[in-house]
Amino acid sequence: MLKDVELAKAYRLLNHGPTVLVSSAAAGKRNVMAAAWAMPLDFDPPKVLVVIDKSTYTRELMEASGEFILNVPCRAQAAQVVRVGSESGRDEDKFAASGLQEALAQKLAAPRVAGCIAYLECKIVPEPHNQQRYDLFIGEVVAAQADEDLFSAGHWHFDDDPAKRSLHYIAGGAFFATGEAFSVA
Amino acid sequence: MLKDVELAKAYRLLNHGPTVLVSSAAAGKRNVMAAAWAMPLDFDPPKVLVVIDKSTYTRELMEASGEFILNVPCRAQAAQVVRVGSESGRDEDKFAASGLQEALAQKLAAPRVAGCIAYLECKIVPEPHNQQRYDLFIGEVVAAQADEDLFSAGHWHFDDDPAKRSLHYIAGGAFFATGEAFSVA
């Protein structure tokens, strides 16, 4: 079951560096792509960074709509993450081609990717120099939700189900799952 | 044993989202701090992003020297990572206070943190607007090395020694270790 995450704690969803799916839509078209280069930028109001190459269809939809969603996928979705990271949405509808389903967002027109373990809905903070020169986008998080079995009281709890762990992409289809939780004083 | 990492593959050291230590020096002073908000920005020449708050002593040293090092610490160093993430180097020498040792860098005057599993030596690409408005720094990676037992042929190999796994910080002293490696076609 999804539960709202307090916006000032939304950075905790990305703080451990998981690979994300970026979903977007404009003018009746939708797309989803994988991105390893996403992270928090600020706490409150929460902002995130994501690198989106100029060649991508996602970039076109993001620039047309001014918004995007960072979806945090889990290990059960790893094959689909690789697939939507290696094909272009210009050639086919990547939701349909990958078997990923869309779900309604809370505050944006962009679709969420169903079955993910967390969502950060973002409005682009326009920074044309960063976008043009570095393919770097800043988003302000306007809504955040997570699977309440996996994220509560501001912390992830991945111990029970290995298939629900978040992902850390390397290259060539190789990942690490998020590993053992531990604390130091 | 440390081995050079081809610069075009340096992004692989950070692609899975590990927490880093940022080391810096200027005018005879040195410092080290923890940062969860660091990631690759570009492949070749390799660039990285790191968020460094205006209140930090590291920021002062980075701006004075134009350089910094991203050190990738391992689980054996987790307590020290928390310590250098929660104290200021203005009040004390954090290397000495935490028991971290410095090591010589290859191309920079800034010190490395000894015992880390990878190093990315970076020159700041000046972007005053990003630095001022978002506390966001861009570095070009001018040298990269990793422990050859843990990183070879462009991939991390963490299976043998749990104490040498990289770290993913959450908050309040809580981490995840980098977890199980797996591949999908």
Q: What is the mean pLDDT of residues B118-141?
A: 98
- Can you give the pLDDT at residue B185? 72
Do residue B155 and residue A176 have CB atoms under 8 angstroms apart?
Answer: no
Provide the shortest C-alpha distance from residue B102 to chain A (in Å): 23
Q: Which of A48, A168, A169 to mutate to test the interface with B (most CBs of B within 10 A)?
A: A168
pLDDT digits (tens, 9 = 90+) for A15-56: 999 999 999 999 999 999 999 999 999 999 999 999 999 999
Residue A185 has a pLDDT of 72
Residue A26: CATH number of its domain = 2.30.110.10
- Candidates B12, B13, B14, B15: best to mutate against A (most CBs of A within 10 A) is B15
Residues in B closer than 8 angstroms to A15, CB to CB, are 36-37, 168-171
pLDDT of residue A66: 98
Nearest to B178 among A19, A154, A168 (CB): A168
> What local confidence, expressed as pLDDT, does residue B167 receive?
98
Rounded (5°) CA angle B80-B81-B82: 90
pLDDT > 70 in chain A, percent? 100
Residue B123 located in a structural domain = yes
The pLDDT > 90 percentage for chain B reads 92
Domain that holds residue A81: 2-177
pLDDT confidence tier of residue A136, bands split at 50, 70 and 90? very high
Predicted confidence band at A160 (pLDDT cuts at 50, 70, 90)? confident
Quote the number of domains for chain B.
1
Interchain proximity B184–A172, CB inside 8 Å: no
Residue A85 lies in a domain: yes
Residue A91's pLDDT is: 82
Q: Residue A159: what pLDDT?
A: 85
| A58: pLDDT strictly greater than 90 | yes
Residue A11 lies in a domain: yes
Indicate the SS3 state at residue A62. Answer: helix
Amino acid at the residue A27: A
Q: Which chain B residues contact residue A138 at CB under 8 A? A: 134
Give domain status of residue A182, yes or no: no
Residue B185 located in a structural domain = no
| CB neighbour class for B126 (10 Å; exposed up to 12, middle 13-18, buried from 19) | exposed
- The ipTM, to two decimals, is 0.96
Give the model's pLDDT for residue B89. 83
The answer as to whether A118 is a domain residue is yes
User: Residue B88 has what pLDDT?
Assistant: 83
Contacts of B37 in chain A (CB under 8 A): 15, 39-41
SS3 for chain B is CEEECCHHHHHHHCCCCCCEEEEEEECCEEEEEEECCEEEEEECCEEEEEECCCCCHHHHHHHHHCEEEEEECEHHHHHHHHHHHHCCCCCCCHHHHHCCCEECCCCCCCCEECCCCEEEEEEEECCHHHHHHHCEEEEEEEEEEEECCCEECCEECCCCCHHHCEEEEEECCEEEEEEEEEECC
The answer to whether residue B53 is domain-embedded is yes
pLDDT band at A69 (very low <50, low <70, confident <90, very high): very high
Q: How far is A136 from chain B (nearest CA, A)?
A: 8
Cβ distance A136 to B49 less than 8 Å, yes or no, reads: yes
**Chain B residues close to A182, C-beta within 8 Å:** 75, 78, 174-177
pLDDT at A12: 97
B7-17 average pLDDT score: 97
> Of A41, A51, A170, which has the smallest distance from its Cβ to B12's Cβ?
A170
pTM reported for the whole predicted model: 0.97
Q: Is the pLDDT of residue B79 over 80?
A: yes
What confidence category does residue A115 fall into, taking pLDDT thresholds of 50, 70 and 90? very high
Residue B182 within any structural domain of the chain: no
Contacts of A76 in chain B (CB under 8 A): none
User: B39: nearest CA in chain A?
Assistant: A37
